[in-house]
């Protein structure tokens, strides 16, 4: 089958990634979707049982820090789009083991950026994109100006404590945990690749996710 495009989703066996993989496999049957994941304690392919037999879906077990392997995957599948979710993502674990967070979140992201650049740059960046998933935690914490929330609303429908401020794209970076420091560093590397090499990239900083 001739595919219009091949997109690699890193961390596709994780919580958010598995939903992104499913969405892409179902919505874009003419795109080949490569799910690249190391399958750490956080990854579980059972999340994707319903799509594993689809012709446009392929799983690759690999570490995003493995430069040679990542280069090989990008070139052998002719990948022009990367949606990068793979990360060590649990704040509490980062307090116990910060090195693993720096390795995966910083060096892993840098490895992907460099491997993508190496393959894309000589062929031209048109139709290529590196989409980096980061976190709002790089901005620190907002003040809970209404610690008692909205007493007339139940907690489950938004009645819990909240603040009146928002983070914006110009809020200054102020990470507080090893997790958010590593994610902040990865954001800076993505911007550096954009500004230095022209790598087409997008950085998004979402808040906590829940549900499908």
Ligand X SMILES: NC(=O)c1ccc[n+]([C@@H]2O[C@H](COP(=O)([O-])OP(=O)(O)OC[C@H]3O[C@@H](n4cnc5c(N)ncnc54)[C@H](O)[C@@H]3O)[C@@H](O)[C@H]2O)c1
Residue 209 binds to ligand X (criterion: CB under 6 A): yes
DSSP summary character for residue 137: G
Residue 121: active-site member:
no
Q: Is 66 noted as a catalytic residue in this protein? A: no
Closest listed residue to residue 85, CA positions, set 140, 138, 37 = 37
184 near ligand X (CB under 6 A): no
Q: What is the closest distance, in whole angstroms, from the C-beta atom of residue 186 to ligand X in the complex?
A: 8
Q: Which of 51, 87, 112, 199 forms a contact with ligand X (CB under 6 A)?
A: 87
Choice between 29 and 72, CB closer to ligand X: 72
# binding residues, ligand X (CB under 6 A): 29
Q: Is 89 in the site for ligand X (CB under 6 A)?
A: yes
- Residues 38, 78, 9, CA angle at the centre, nearest 5°? 35
* Cβ at position 147, least distance to ligand X in Å: 22
Cβ neighbours, 10 Å, residue 2: 5
Listed residue (162, 158, 167) closest to 144, CA to CA: 162
Residue nearest to ligand X (CB): 14
Rounded to the nearest 10 degrees, what angle do helices 178-197 and 109-120 cross at? 20
Report the candidate in 131, 138, 132, 104 with the shortest Cα–Cα distance to residue 207: 138
Exposure string for 108-123, b = 16+ CB within 10 A, e = fewer = bbbbbbbbbbebbeee
Q: Which residues from 102-121 bind ligand X, rule CB under 6 A?
A: 104, 108
Instruction: Verify binding: residue 14, ligand X, rule CB under 6 A.
Output: yes
Beta sheet of 31-37, edge-to-edge order: 57-61, 31-37, 5-10, 81-84, 129-135, 201-206
Does 179 qualify as catalytic in the annotation?
yes
Selected catalytic residue, list 37, 88, 137, 187: 137
Residues 120-139, interacting with ligand X (CB under 6 A): 133, 135
For ligand X, the binding residues (CB under 6 A) are 10-11, 13-17, 37-40, 42-43, 63-65, 85-89, 104, 108, 133, 135, 183, 206, 208-209
Catalytic residue positions? 136-137, 179
């Amino acid at each position: 089958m001739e595919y219009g495009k091949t997109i690699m989703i890193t961390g596709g066996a994780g919580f958010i990634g598995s939903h992104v993989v499913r969405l892409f496999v179902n919505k874009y049957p003419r795109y080949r979707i490569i799910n690249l994941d190391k399958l750490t304690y956080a990854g579980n392919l059972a999340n994707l049982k319903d799509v594993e037999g689809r012709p446009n879906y392929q799983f690759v077990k690999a570490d995003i820090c493995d430069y040679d392997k990542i280069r090989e995957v990008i070139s052998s599948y002719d990948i022009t789009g990367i949606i990068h979710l793979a990360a060590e993502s649990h704040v509490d674990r980062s307090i116990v083991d910060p090195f693993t967070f720096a390795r995966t979140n910083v060096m892993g992201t840098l490895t992907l950026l460099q491997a993508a650049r190496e393959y894309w740059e000589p062929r031209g960046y048109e139709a290529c994109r590196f989409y980096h998933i980061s976190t709002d935690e790089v901005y620190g914490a907002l003040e809970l100006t209404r610690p008692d929330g909205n007493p007339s609303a139940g907690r489950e429908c938004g009645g819990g404590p909240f603040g009146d401020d928002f983070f914006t794209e110009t809020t200054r970076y102020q990470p507080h945990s090893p997790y958010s420091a590593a994610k902040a560093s990865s954001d800076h590397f993505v911007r550096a690749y954009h500004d230095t090499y022209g790598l087409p990239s997008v950085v998004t900083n979402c808040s906590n996710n829940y549900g499908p």
